[in-house]
Amino acid sequence: MHWIIGDIHGMLRPLEALLRTIDQRDAQAHLVFVGDYVNRGPDSRRVVDLLLTLKNATFLRGNHDDIFDLLLHGNCYICHPTGPDRVSAFGWFMQHGLDHTLISYGADLASLQWLAERGDSRKLEEYLRIVPTAHREFFRSLQPVFESKDFFVAHGYWDPDDRDDSPVIAAQLAADPRLRYQLLWGRFSQQQITGKKRWRRTGYFGHTPVFNYKIKADPFSPILADRIRLLDTAVALSVTGLLTAICPESRQIIQADRAGTIAGGS
């Protein structure tokens, strides 16, 4: 069966707990990650180290990963208009947890702040050599979408008024940069979540913390609506946030808290 795992954001303990529990329930599990492996949490490097050991897994690209890819390589899948180059993206994402990521690779905060103030592209490139080659290749290889017969998985957004087939999403993305941008950076409105969709399949997404929507009483359970599942249950944004995994075939839900305790499932 497939297990789709929400935004990790450098939170190692809940990830380890989910992987153990999934393995106990499904030894043949195919893991699909919605992206955003880095920033905010304290253990981005160790998260990627663990992900690199997984054999039957698909790793999708989140917007935080795409910015990290830009920093590491000078280009990325789709550049955000407010962060089109390496230096400006560095300064921007220092406000969104990039400092925690680079500290996990051995950086010190004072040097990061100096780099953000100076805006020196050459110095920044030299400093980012602390990220090992295997990790650089991991971020470069991240895919935009996973598609199966009955569901698809993407990081942020697919317009409910757009088809998810004829052609499939991957083909549409390849032909249209606007769709690529929306996929990583777009956010659903509450009306779009609860409303009708042209999709033939069910879409699974991360990116937007579910507590932003007033759809359910529990702010840290995934949103399960018509042909859409939202999995970002804010493990790195709140002390009571959770990391979520959902199995589309069995409809099981597993969640782990920051300490790595399994919080429940169904």
pTM of the model: 0.96
Domain ranges of the chain: 2-265
| Tens-digit pLDDT profile for residues 228-252 | 999 999 999 999 999 999 999 999 9
b/e string for 215-250 if b means 16 or more Cβ within 10 A? eeeebbbbbebebbbbbbbbbbbeeebbbbbbbbee
Of the candidates 72, 49, 87, which has an alpha carbon nearest to the alpha carbon of residue 130? 72
Cα–Cα distance between 34 and 61 in angstroms, integer? 7
CATH 3.60.21.10 assigned to domain 2-265? The reply is yes
Q: Is the pLDDT of residue 266 over 60?
A: no
Kindly give the pairing relationship between strand 57-59 and strand 151-154.
unpaired
Q: How far is CA 206 from the centre of its chain?
A: 6
| Tens-digit pLDDT profile for residues 132-187 | 999 999 999 999 999 999 999 999 999 999 999 989 999 999 999 999 999 999 99
Q: Is the pLDDT of residue 265 over 70?
A: no
CB–CB of 58/31 below 8 Å?
Answer: yes
Binned at pLDDT 50, 70 and 90, residue 20 comes out as: very high
Cα–Cα distance between 77 and 185 in angstroms, integer? 12
Mean pLDDT for the chain overall: 95
